[in-house]
Structure 1
Amino acid sequence: MLQTAMRFSHTLLKEVILTGDTVVDATMGNGHDTAFLAQLVGLNGLVYAFDVQEQALQNTDKRLVETGLREQVRLFHQGHETIATAIPEETSLRAAIFNLGYLPKSDKQIITKPDTTEQALDALLARLESKGRIVLVVYYGHTGGEAELAMVQDYCQKLPQEIYSVLTYQFINQKNNPPILFCIERK
């Protein structure tokens, strides 16, 4: 059976993340990906997780405490556009994940935006290790979503093929704008 974009994002990350790695959850949301990453990196690894909404931090912190994964995670109540200054420049990253759109069951007016996502991608690519991956799951069925999808697609298509491989994964016969996954891998 074909995997959903979310499930496939985890498959792609599991293939490259090792115990002790440093990774990023650029949009922590309710903490599902943050906890998943924390399990993969283990106690010797580190997860940097970002979100602009206090509710996201509270939900994620609670999930991490309940699962015993809080120690290896640094939560930032700030947007992913601050990755360049929040994560030390010399830090190399194995992987990152984005869920672009809005926080489920919250204010749908608070959305990720193309300019901040582009800033985050620039900062992550500068730190991405060889064979490292950045996965973006783009939810675009809301006001502003199409613009962000267009930016991500354009950004990925312009990456030099000598340095990066880029995959896109989507269901083309489903209604209601199913998410589209992009995976950037540094060669």
Structure 2
Amino acid sequence: MLARVLPYAKDLAREVVSPGDTVVDATCGNGHDTRFLSELTGPGGHVLSFDIQPGAIENARELCSPAGNIEFILDSHANVDRYLGGRPVKAAMFNLGYLPKGDKTITTEYKSTILAIEKIFHAMVPGGRIIIVVYHGHPEGKLEKEALTAALAEWPQKESQILEYRFINQKNDAPYILCIEKNRKK
């Protein structure tokens, strides 16, 4: 059977992340991806988990306790470069849209998302991946989807491969995945 979107997003990360790696959860939300990345990287790894909403950080801290390899950051993912400290990134996960069961007027925005993706890619090791689950069933999500697709379509293929994984017969603007894999040096 074909993998559903969220399990496949985790499979894409699982394929490249190893214990000890540095990874980013660019949209912490309620902490599910943060916990998953923490488990993949283990005690020697480092997870940077970003959100702009204090409630999201609190929810994630509670879910992820007592993991000691997570740095929760109350800031925009667009500022990721301020927190990396020169560490190379192996993977990053984004779940675009709004906080589940939260204020639906607070959403990710394409300008900060694209900036974060560019900064993470710059810090990423060859073979690393940025996995983006695109939720576009709301007005800001539609704008973000269009801007992200346009921006990524221009990326040179000599630097990366970009996958789009979606089910085309789903109703209600079903979420889909964009995965950017940084090419290995030849």
| TM-score when normalising by structure 2 | 0.96
Find the residue that maps to 1:97 and give its secondary structure. strand
2:81 to 84, 102, 110: 84
**Displaced runs of 4 or more, over 4 A:** none
Q: 2:143 & 2:176 partners in 1: Cα distance? A: 14
Find the residue that maps to 2:151 and give its secondary structure. helix
What RMSD, in angstroms, separates the aligned Cα atoms of the two structures?
0.8
2:116 to 109, 115, 120: 120
Find the residue that maps to 1:144 and give its secondary structure. helix
Q: Which residue number corresponds to residue 173 of structure 2?
A: 177
Q: Which residue number corresponds to residue 64 of structure 1?
A: 64
Q: Which residue number corresponds to residue 26 of structure 1?
A: 26
Code of the aligned partner of 1:78: D
Q: CA deviation at 1:86?
A: 2.3
Cα deviation, 1:23-76, whole Å, max 9, x if unaligned, reads 0000000000000000000000000000011111011000111xx32x000000
Mapping for residues 141-160 of structure 1, pairs under 5 Å: 141-160=137-156
Q: How many residues align?
A: 183
Q: 1:32 & 1:4 partners in 2: Cα distance? A: 16
Which ranges in structure 1 are unaligned for 5 or more consecutive residues? none
Q: 1:143 & 1:167 partners in 2: Cα distance? A: 24
| TM-score when normalising by structure 1 | 0.96
Code of the aligned partner of 2:56: A
Q: 2:88 & 2:168 partners in 1: Cα distance? A: 35
Q: 1:20 & 1:84 partners in 2: Cα distance? A: 20
Code of the aligned partner of 2:78: E
Q: 1:98 & 1:58 partners in 2: Cα distance? A: 18
